[in-house]
Amino acid sequence: MTVPFAPSARSSVGLEWELMLADGDSGNLVGRAPEVIDGLGDDIRLERFTVTGELLTNTIELTSGVGDTVAAAVDDIADATAAVRRVTDPRGIELLSAGSHPFAQWYDQRVSDKTRYHALIDRTQWWGRNMMIWGVHVHVGVEDVTRVLPIINALSIYLPHLQALSASSPYWAGERTGYASNRALVFQQLPTAGLPWQMRTWSEFEDYLDDMSRTGVMADATEVRWDIRPAPRWGTIEVRACDGMSTLPELAAIAALVQALVEHFSRAYDRGEPLPSIQPWFIRENKWRAARYGLDAHVIVDREGTQVPVARDVRRLVAELAPIAEELKCSREFSGISSILDQGASSQRQVAAADAAGGDLHAVVQHLIREFRDGPTLRDHLAHLAASPRTEDPRA
């Protein structure tokens, strides 16, 4: 099987953000995505962004255009959110984003009326019906197909960092799971989901797709659901490991980190340097640790088995990648990574909200709704950063 990899501008950025639709009073999910999309009608036909349905009717997905910078892609998402608000606000529908809804039950949700979704549920049954999960996908353009799989292998070392920063699914169907990202472990139950297989060349990826299509496992590359995957149609590497980000500045921060990482490894490839790798069993263990402990995890960072706190290693990474972020014109968005470390990931904030309310998960949903609606916009966040004096070295 020959799979062409589309031309793409190096380190260009595209974003996908899955949002829940909830009743403003009860906080429970509402299956009104078709109504919202119909309400948008032709008003967004000429926009750079798109708004589409997803597997369940309680979800919409906002997709940016291709941005030369993270800021351009995030502006598209902000414009899409504003357009959706014009439809949802009069209908009493609230928007929120996290890896899971704190108390909604799978059997109350409706599957969107599309053939591929019905086929997925027919095959996966109970696990498919339990896919009450929301995430973000970050696409970064790669100009040369030969470097796609080596970069994906190198990025796998940093999957736990991305997963811990974005962890936002500590509750599931009304229970505290003890995991910072329960979504990460639920999602990998689907066929072809989970960690990427370690492949060195594009021909190996083509052989994989050929094997999987000949045996009826999948129809094409779009059904590869790895945590990081090639996206041949767009000419990108797509990072899919992250839980739904609860605020726009956090989405921007994760996008900037992914963009800087891909560019970092692409430059190493340009210089002919071998890209870093660790044993796949370490990568698997790191994913579990990040899902379980979030930013409190200790992760394995090299082939010798060195273990460090993931939060500390993120700070090291921020210092190392800061010059690249500046060159990519995403320094201000990139600085949001440090803000997540300082303020806590969404999973930590949700647990704090529940504890403050005596364990009432309805309060957690209202917390998420407020964060999405009233939290700082990206422009407010960046203006605050610009006005704040810099008081410490980020490498400390």
Within a domain: residue 18? yes
* Structural domain that includes position 28: 13-387
Q: How confident is the model at residue 378 (pLDDT cuts 50, 70, 90)?
A: low
pLDDT tens, 42-69?
Answer: 989 999 999 999 999 999 999 999 999 9
Structural tokens at position 81: 């959110």
Residue 390 clears pLDDT 50, i.e. is over it = no
Q: Residue 232: is its pLDDT beyond 90?
A: yes
Q: Tell me if 4 is assigned to some domain.
A: no
Beta strand pairing status for 193-194 and 225-226?
parallel
Distance CA 62, CA 64 (A): 7
Tokens found for residue 131: 């896919």
| CA dist., res. 192 & res. 178, Å (int) | 26
Question: Is the pLDDT score of 385 beyond 70?
Answer: no
Q: How far is CA 205 from each of CA 10, 81, 87, 231, 391, rounded to the nearest angstrom? A: 21, 36, 42, 12, 47
Does residue 140 fall inside a structural domain? yes
Q: What is the pLDDT of residue 116?
A: 87
Does position 388 have pLDDT exceeding 70, yes or no? no
In a domain, 365, yes or no: yes
Percent share of the chain, pLDDT over 90: 89
How many independent structural domains does the chain possess? 1
> For tokens 């929120």, what's the residue?
96
Distance CA 46, CA 385 (A): 33
* DSSP track, 234-261: TTEEEE--PBPPSSHHHHHHHHHHHHHH
Backbone angles phi, psi at 367, to 5 degrees: -60, -45
Which tens digit of pLDDT belongs to each residue from 258-294?
A: 999 999 999 999 999 999 999 999 999 999 999 999 9
- Cα–Cα dist 284/74, whole Å: 31
Backbone angles phi, psi at 344, to 5 degrees: 95, 145
Burial per residue of 293-316, b for 16 or more beta-carbon CB atoms within 10 angstroms, e otherwise: bbbebbbbbeeeeeeeebbebbbe
CA distance 93 to 356: 25
Report if residue 362 sits inside a domain: yes
Give the model confidence (pLDDT) of 7-21 as tens digits: 999 999 999 999 999
Please write the tens of the pLDDT for every residue from 130-185: 899 999 999 999 999 999 999 999 999 999 999 999 999 999 999 999 999 999 99
Q: Rounded to a whole number, what is the distance in angstroms from the first to the last CA of the chain?
A: 50
pLDDT (mean) for 22-40: 97
pLDDT higher than 60, residue 330: yes
Q: Quick one: pLDDT at residue 75?
A: 96
Residue 334 CA to residue 74 CA, distance in Å, equals: 13
382 — pLDDT class (breaks 50, 70, 90): low
Spatial neighbors of 383 by CB under 8 A, at least 6 apart, are none
Strand boundaries in the chain, DSSP class E = 13-23, 50-53, 59-63, 93-96, 136-141, 171-172, 175-176, 193-194, 225-226, 228-231, 236-239, 298-300, 307-309
Query: Residue 389's pLDDT is what?
Result: 47
pLDDT for the residue numbered 284? 98
Q: What is the pLDDT of residue 81?
A: 97
Report pLDDT for 374. Answer: 82
Are 367 and 348 in contact by the 8 Å Cβ rule? The answer is: no
* Residue 23 confidence (pLDDT) above 50: yes
Closest by alpha carbon to 138, among 7, 333, 316? 333
CA neighbor of 66 nearest in space, from 51, 48, 54, 79: 48
pTM of the model: 0.94
In a domain, 395, yes or no: no
- CA dist 93 and 88 (Å) reads 5
Span 319-324, average pLDDT:
98
Tell me if 75 sits within 8 A of 330, measured CB to CB.
no
Q: Kindly tell me if the per-residue pLDDT of 1 is higher than 90.
A: no
Contact 333, 386 (CB under 8 A): no
The candidate with the shortest Cα–Cα distance to 165, out of 243, 100, 231, is 243
On the question of pLDDT at 387 being above 70, the answer is no
Q: What angle do CA 136, 57, 292 make, to 5 degrees?
A: 40
Question: Do residues 70 and 64 lie in contact, with contact meaning Cβ atoms separated by under 8 Å?
Answer: no
Better-predicted residue by pLDDT, 384 or 207: 207
**365 pLDDT more than 50:** yes
Average pLDDT in the chain: 94
Q: Look up the CATH number of the domain holding residue 64.
A: 3.30.590.20
